[in-house]
Amino acid sequence: MRGDLTVLFEDDWLFVVDKPSGLLVHRGYGADEVTLVEMVARRLGRAHPVHRLDRATSGVLVFAKSGDIARDLQLQFQDGLVTKRYLALARGHIREPVTVDHPVPKDEGGERIDAVTDLVPLAHLDCAPRDVTWVEARPKTGRFHQIRRHLKHISHPVIGDSNYGKGPLNREFAAVHGLARLALHAQGLRLVHPGDARPLVFEAPLPDDLLLPLRSMGFDFLPNDLGDLV
C-alpha cells in the first residue's frame, strides 16, 4: 500500500486519492520513510493538499495541481461550502442524532476555537468485548482531531483511538476482531470544481482493515449511503 496510490479522481485541476490508515500526510509530523505528499509529488511533480486527515484515518483526500487551485479550494473549506462525511465505530450506544458544539484546538497545541460536528447513529450492536455504534459524522468545521475529540466529549470515543479511547479496550478489539487501526474513515466529500463550478462527489469504500473487523463483530449491514452529498 505504501508504494501505490489509490486514485479516486484526476483531471487538469484535481488529484483525489484514497488514503490508507497509518500513512502520514505531511513531512514534519513524524519521521516516516514516506509520506502521502511525497508519493503524490513523485507522480505529479508537485503536491498541494487542500485539507488533511490524521495518520490513522483513511479515506478521501484532495490535492490541487497548482497553488492557485489549492487556494481556491481552501476558501471553499473555510466558507463551509465543502461537505464531508465520515464513518466511525464508537464505544457504547449512541441512541439519537446529536450536534456537538464544543471548542477544540485548530492545530495541535493551539488555542481552542469553535467546532461543530453532526453525529447520526446508523447501527448499534452488542458484541464482545462491549457494545458499539456505527455512526456518521459530518464536521461543520475543520479542527485538530475534531471528530475524535467530539465523540470523546460525549463519552463515545472511536474504537482504536490511542489518544482519546481506552488502551485495554482497544487491545481487546484488536485481539478478538483484528481491528488494528483507528475505526474512522473519510467516506465521502463534496465540493465545487474550481474550473467549471460543477459539483463533484468523491467516495472511498471501506478498506479491508476496517471492513473485515466490522464483519467479525457481526455487522452484516453497514449503512453507507452518501445521502445529500450526491
Which residues belong to the active site? 54
CA neighbours closer than 13 Å in the CB half-sphere of residue 172: 13
Query: What string of DSSP letters covers 59-92?
Result: EEEEEESSHHHHHHHHHHHHTT--EEEEEEEEES
Q: Answer whether 74's CB lies under 8 Å from 52's CB.
A: no
Rounded to an integer, what distance in angstroms lies between the CA atom of residue 50 and that of residue 44? Answer: 15
Beta bridge pairs of residue 18: 60
Q: Answer whether 132's CB lies under 8 Å from 111's CB.
A: no
